[in-house]
Each structure stands twice: as C-alpha cells, then as structure tokens.
Amino acid sequence: MEASSNVATAPRRARELAPSPAFERSRVRRNVIGLVVAVLVIVAVVTLVPGLASVRDRLAQVSGPWLVVAITLKLLSGVSYVAVFRSVFCRRMSWRISAQIGLSELGANAVLPTGGAGGLALGAWALHRSGMSTERIARRSVAFFLLTSVPNVLGVFIIVLGLAVGVFEGHANLALSIVPAAVAGCAIVLTIAAGGWADQAARRIEERAGHTTRFAKALRWLSDGVADCLWLLRRREPWLVFGLIGYLAFDVMIMWATFHAFGYVPPLAIIWMGYLIGELGGLIPVPGGIGGVDLGLIGAFVLYHVPVAPATAAVLAYRAIALVVPAVVGLVAGLFLRRSLAHEAVSIANCEPGGEVEIIGRGVVQMPA
C-alpha cells in the first residue's frame, strides 16, 4: 500500500493543459543560445590561452573507440533514468511513454539552467496534461529527487570507507574525504527529519487558518514525498534498484572511459570521488551547468592528485557527451511525446482510475474507476 492515497483527478480546463511557461520556445531558444556561447568560449580559451598547451596536446591524442564507449555508457545511463522514472511515477505506464518522458526530461536538464529541476518540471507538465493529479505528481517528484540522490550519498560513504581501510586503490586526503561523507550523512538525517517536520507544520498552519493553504499543501507534498521515498526503498522493486544504481554508475564510468580516451587513468575510486564531489557544481543555475560542473570536476580531480592536463581533457570530453547526447535524444523523444500526449494519454491516466484526461480530437475523457 502506498504511503499516501491517490486523489481523483479534477476536471481540467484548456488553460490548465497548456504548455508550461518554463518551456516556451523563446526561453528554450535563449538557453540553447547561451549554452552554445558558453561552449564556444570554453573552446576559445582552451585553443588560444598559451598556458593550456598541455591540455591541447592531450585533446589531440584522443582515442575514438573509447569515446564510443563513453557515448554508449551515457545511453545506458539514460535507460536507467527511465527505469527509475517509471518505477516512481507509474509502473502501469508503458515503457515507450516512460522513455519519451524520461529522455525528454534529460534533454531539458541539458539546456535549462535549473540545476536538474527543469527536467522534472517538464515531466510534471506531461503527466499533468495526461490526467495524473497534481498531488501525486508533486509528492512523487519529491520522492524521485530524493531517490536519485541516495546512490550519490551511499557512494561517498562506500568510497571514503574503502580508501580509509585500503580496500580501494588510490591515495586521498582522509580529511578531504571525510567532509563530503559527513555532509552526506547529515543530508540523510535532515531529509528524513524534514518529512516529519513538514507534516507537523502543515497541521499547525491549517489549524490556525481554519482551511488548507497553499503553503500547507506544499508542506504536505514534501512530507508525503519523503514517506513515498522510504516506502519505495523498502519495496526494493528490481527495476527501481537497477535504475538507481545504473543511472549513477554508468555516468561515473563515462569519466573512466574519457580518461582512457586521453591515455591517463586514475584509480577507479578516485574517479568516483572526483565525480561525486565535482558534480555539486551542477547546482549553479547556468544552462547545462556549463562552467560550474566543469570547474568543479577538474578542481576535485586535482585535489585528488590527478594531473591538470588529463583531468581537463577528460572532463571536457565527458561534459560534451553529457550535454550533446541527452539534448539530441531528448529532442527526438520530445517530438514523439507530443504525439503520445495527443493520442495516447490514456495509458498515463491509467495510473489513477477515475481521473480525467484530454485527448486531442476527443476532448476530456474520464477513466473508469
């Protein structure tokens, strides 16, 4: 039984089914232009700055087959993301539509400066358009965000412990490694505590106001999302477990492949630690995380004694793959998604019997309870 019961979807007006303002063509166009400009600036800096000759030498020695391996790993990471998306939002949804929404989300994350929230917002719009209730979308979005963070937190703990006791190859500053592990541990405790706090706060607000306010409703969604996250973890559903592990592991191994492509491969544990710490730069709200993630990854690898030239070359190749592959695949998936929303929204609404969906050409159709 789910942590929170589903609520029947209320009838939807046409304006509620309109595309989200966050994904208006003009805004997406501006973000894409900003992304292209940022990439051109990085290319110009690497090409023209005299002190980066060693980086240019590394880039000139790239191995094509290893880049193909890296691209393949990125595609597998995307498949894993789709598995998590379907397991969290609706196991009754077809794999095809799950892939269309999930891959469209990854494409949005590549071009929208929202630290990963842009993709979830796109998925939320698609699910809402197809009849899923706002309450379910909100709490499952919270659960999805928390679940996809769990492997990162566990990864930090495992790698730090392995390096400390000598199980994993690599030399790392123990103090430098303990800090992210402590932060990760605090994040788990605070997240679980936040669920209970949000529920209590929502009750107090409702008691004082005498009715349910928007803020109280948001707190309920946060509380329910934390509860759903814990419930989904306890279920240990195979596709969810595979997706959570694969989404992170395949992405980290892209870095491993790009290091191979430039002829210098640090110990695997160091690649994992550098990745887990460096990716925090993606929280900076710029298109595709350009600049923030790149500097974060390079800086993290340098702190773990990886030479600057191979680290920079491997990170730039990784970032190019991490931006281009999801953007291209997401664009194609988005085109198919528009068609599915027009003709096959019923398969999504089946997640919530009794809800209503808009099918273009047929109007609003109510699903049988």
**Per-residue pLDDT reduced to its tens digit, 19-35:** 444 455 555 565 556 55
Tell me if the pTM is above 0.85: no
Q: Which long-range contacts (CB under 8 A, 24 or more apart) does 221-224 make?
A: 221/135, 221/138, 221/139, 221/142, 222/142, 222/194, 222/195, 222/198, 223/195, 223/196, 223/198, 223/199, 224/3, 224/4, 224/135, 224/139, 224/142
The more confident residue out of 55 and 219 is 219
pLDDT band at 79 (very low <50, low <70, confident <90, very high): very high
Q: CA 159 → CA 168, 177, 178, 268, 275, distances in Å? A: 8, 9, 10, 10, 12
The Cα–Cα gap between 104 and 120 comes to 10
The pLDDT of 287-316, averaged and rounded, is 80
The Cα–Cα gap between 259 and 257 comes to 5
Across all residues in the chain, what is the average pLDDT? 75
Strands 363-366 and 356-359: antiparallel
Q: By C-alpha distance, which of 283, 117, 141, 149 is closest to 218?
A: 141
pLDDT band at 78 (very low <50, low <70, confident <90, very high): very high
The Cα–Cα gap between 87 and 66 comes to 32
Q: What is the pLDDT of residue 318?
A: 93
Q: What is the pLDDT of residue 81?
A: 95
Tell me which range, 76-80, 110-114, 161-165, is most confidently predicted by mean pLDDT.
76-80
The Cα–Cα gap between 1 and 264 comes to 50
Lowest mean pLDDT among 74-88, 193-207, 278-292: 278-292
- Percentage of residues in the chain having pLDDT higher than 90: 18
CA atoms within 13 A on the CB side of 289: 27
Are the C-beta atoms of residues 74 and 250 closer than 8 Å to each other? yes
